[in-house]
Amino acid sequence: MTARFLDGIRVLDLSQFLPGPFATQMLADLGADVVKVEPPRGDPMRDLNPITNERGPGPFHAAVNAGKRILRLDLKTDEGRAAMETLVGGADVLLESFRPGVLDRLGFGWPRLSELNPRLIHCALSGYGQTGPQRLWAGHDINYVAMTGALDATGPEAIPQPAFPPIADYGGALQAVIAILGALVGRGQSGRGVHLDVAMADAVLAWQAYGMVQAGLAESGSGSAPARGRDLLTGGAACYGVYETRDGRFVSLGAIEEVFWKNFCTAVGKPAWVDRQLERMPQTDLIADVEDLFKGKDRDDWDALLVPADCCYHPVLTYGELADWPQIEARGLLAKAPAGQVFGGIGFPVIIDGATPAERQPVSEVSVDQVLVTWKARP
């Protein structure tokens, strides 16, 4: 089944690399007609090929742009700008990821866009936002996360560790989609478009309430600030962590609630550990004991013992295991790669009326004229 919630909505995607294209792919999954506008040389993502480390067509561009049509325009030429004006006139949403000011210099700042199409929703997705002293700073995911406090709390005690996949990129994309969907609902009531300023750093900052509450308690003297390797969710508790098994693989344990920790201790034959769950963190000694326990068996042995124990246990899967994992197979989101390809695609992660999403159509290249046949300005 293909979601058609946004059937009839036209989206112009002027973004590059990962965050913007992932956002518009979700809109396409929801039924929008997405046309991606790339410069004559194409999105630089086309040349990002970590599989062979060679320049040339890479798999990432096709993966994150499946379900869209792509055309190439030179917005520095009169012809290109004229075509863009027509596209804007017929669009409902325009998403771009330029640095602040770039679109203005190309002649398509928000005042001009709203003049061309008063109903247009313009989402400007950037690293630090359209305002503030860092608005023009260069950055990538690791920098945006660093600004929010999240990086300081992530990783082993000795040094902050960047997360994978890049959370600001994906978090910013999700925030952009949420804002666009809200703006579409609002436009249905007001009839007017709107300018959305979405920063990837802001998206991650919005997730920091838990850590900032803890930091605030520390300042008041009633707690301790979040610290790598020392707190419940950062590696300081034996009941919540990652452990290596005898065969060099890994498992995760998330037995935060007393009942789950008790179930774990009972299953592994360590009833004396039940009362140790509330030991002062970091629980160095208890963590060492649990580490030694898990190193005594292979991962498959732990799967057999702890999956039935209902203790918030799960093996740490590698990418190579995903396609055949029963839960992933049952949900039907991960398509197996066709012969000769490295990736089959991951569907829109919502089951609608009991049906899994249909596979996306491969990305297709079209001409401006092919799009303009249907993308006329709305009356």
Q: Which residues are catalytic?
A: 140, 169
Could you give the CA distance from residue 148 to residue 156 in angstroms, rounded to a whole number? 18
Location of structure tokens 């998330």: 254
* 274 three-class SS: helix
Which one, of 145, 196, 191, 188, lies nearest residue 166 by Cα?
A: 145
Other C-beta atoms closer than 10 Å to the C-beta of 363 total 18
Alpha-carbon span 131 to 128, nearest angstrom: 8
* Three-class SS state of 271: helix
Tokens of 292: 């030694």
Question: What is the three-class DSSP state of 253?
Answer: strand
Among 371, 351, 365, 374, residue whose Cα is nearest residue 2: 351
Q: Which long-range contacts (CB under 8 A, 24 or more apart) does 98-102 make?
A: 98/14, 98/124, 98/126, 99/126, 99/136, 100/124, 100/126, 100/129, 100/130, 100/135, 100/136, 101/136
Edge-to-edge strands, sheet with 313-315? 240-244, 250-254, 313-315
Task: Encode burial over 246-261: b for 16+ CB neighbours within 10 A, e otherwise.
Answer: eeebebebbbeeeebb
Amino acid at 259: V
Q: CA separation (Å) from 227 to 150, 208, 223, 256?
A: 11, 14, 12, 18
The CA–CA distances, whole Å, from 195 to 75, 109, 335, 377 equal 21, 10, 36, 19
